[in-house]
Amino acid sequence: MTQAEIKLCSLLLQEHFGEIVEKIGVHLIRTGSQPLRVIVHDTKTSLDQVKKALCVLIQHNLVTYQVHRRGTVEYEAQCSRVLRMLRYPRYIYTAKTLYSDTGELIVEELLLNGKMTMSALVKRVADRLTETMEDGKTMDYAEVSSTFVRLADTHFVQRCPLVSPAENAEPGPPQPAPTLVISEKDMYLVPKLSLIGKGKRRRSSEEDAPGEPKAKRLKHSADNKEPIPDDGIYWQANLDRFHQHFRDQAIVSAVANRMDQTSSEIVRTMLRMSEITTPSSAPFTQPLSSNEVGRQRDPGG
């Protein structure tokens, strides 16, 4: 990695997460894979701060870990993933173009938080949309859920890996770090949730209960918190899928420039039909017959 790229990663990490996370992240970028005790020693940072910084970086898929045979855990920075933070505005704009304001906020929240449950995400987005609406109007959870399902169906969002069930069932002392796994068939499987409700507007300080300390109000709301229906099922933005979409758009534009509009529309249809059945790194799409392409372009024909 060049010095310019390292400097850029440093600026991105500092802007998004602050100085401590930037310090740990850049150290791993420069040195490669390292165990926790070495990171603490080399960066002259407290153990607690290093742990918190690594948690943030792992939460946002900027650092991965690997358990070695001797039981030590080493952490490694994902430099390319850090540089992708430059494209966050483009990912968000693409979601807005394809799935309106609701899709935009879903992807934005996932990028801001790294990983979220569907239930928490739907409520957060519904609240944000309600804030922008006229007085008396609110955003229904069901409408946000519907857009989320469409994003999952087209693979723009995906489930995060979970701790292996076999690992939890094994007797003896716990592993130094969990092994996370997920099958291809479950990666875009949306849990069946009954999210009933509407977005809420933030209450101003004048509307708060008089004479009630803020700490007490927060404790009261925490005590009454309902159980999370999809606890443990986390989602993240699928950045590879966005890049596949960018590539497909470039191909369609190139065909239109070199040939004609009809040819570009045929290619667009073929790419759209194959977008979730063909891996993003595949050199060609799944085979399609001319009849299939024709029916897709003219469903009523």
117 Ramachandran zone, left/alpha/beta (phi>0; psi -120 to 50)? beta
Q: What is the pLDDT of residue 87?
A: 96
Amino acid identity, residue 29? I
Is residue 59 included in any domain, yes or no?
yes
The CATH number of whichever domain residue 281 belongs to comes to: 1.10.10.10
Q: Are residues 115 and 193 in the same domain?
A: yes
Q: Are residues 107 and 233 in the same domain?
A: yes
Q: Which of 119-128, 170-179, 185-194, 222-231: highest mean pLDDT?
A: 119-128
Q: Are residues 106 and 192 in the same domain?
A: yes
Q: Are residues 232 and 247 in the same domain?
A: no
Report yes or no: 100 and 147 within 8 Å, Cβ to Cβ: yes
Tracing tokens 């986390």 back to the chain, one arrives at 234
Q: Are residues 9 and 71 in the same domain?
A: yes
Is pLDDT of 220 > 50? no
Is residue 280 included in any domain, yes or no?
yes
Q: Are residues 137 and 274 in the same domain?
A: no
Report residue 36 as tokens. Answer: 């926790």
Tell me which residue range forms the domain holding 43.
Answer: 3-77
Among 9-13, 136-140, 240-244, which is the least confidently predicted range? 136-140
Is residue 157 included in any domain, yes or no?
yes
Q: Are residues 184 and 138 in the same domain?
A: yes
The more confidently predicted of residues 199 and 89 is 89
Tracing tokens 């910084």 back to the chain, one arrives at 53
DSSP symbol at 198: B
Confidence of residue 221 (pLDDT cuts 50, 70, 90): very low
Q: Are residues 90 and 28 in the same domain?
A: no
Q: Are residues 116 and 232 in the same domain?
A: yes
Tracing tokens 């002259």 back to the chain, one arrives at 44
Q: Which of 189, 210, 237 is the last residue of a domain?
A: 237
pTM of the model: 0.85
Read off the pLDDT of residues 258-269 as tens digits, 9 standing for 90 and up: 888 888 888 888
Q: What is the pLDDT of residue 260?
A: 85
Q: In what order do the strands lie in the sheet with 157-159?
A: 116-117, 234-237, 157-159
Q: What is the pLDDT of residue 52?
A: 97
Confidence of residue 170 (pLDDT cuts 50, 70, 90): low
Mean pLDDT on 5-23:
96
Split into its structural domains, the chain has a count of 3
Report residue 9 as tokens. Answer: 């990663």
How many whole angstroms separate alpha carbon 116 and alpha carbon 131? 21
Is pLDDT of 217 > 50? no
Q: Vertex 125, ends 124 and 129: CA angle to 5°?
A: 120
Q: What is the pLDDT of residue 70?
A: 78
Q: What is the pLDDT of residue 169?
A: 61
Query: What is the three-class DSSP state of 78?
Result: coil
Cβ neighbours around 221 below 10 Å, total: 9
Query: What is 201-266 written as a DSSP string?
Result: PPPPGGGSPTT--HHHHHHHHHHTPPPPTTTT-EEEE-HHHHHHHHHHHHHHHHHHHHS-HHHHHH
Q: Are residues 51 and 155 in the same domain?
A: no
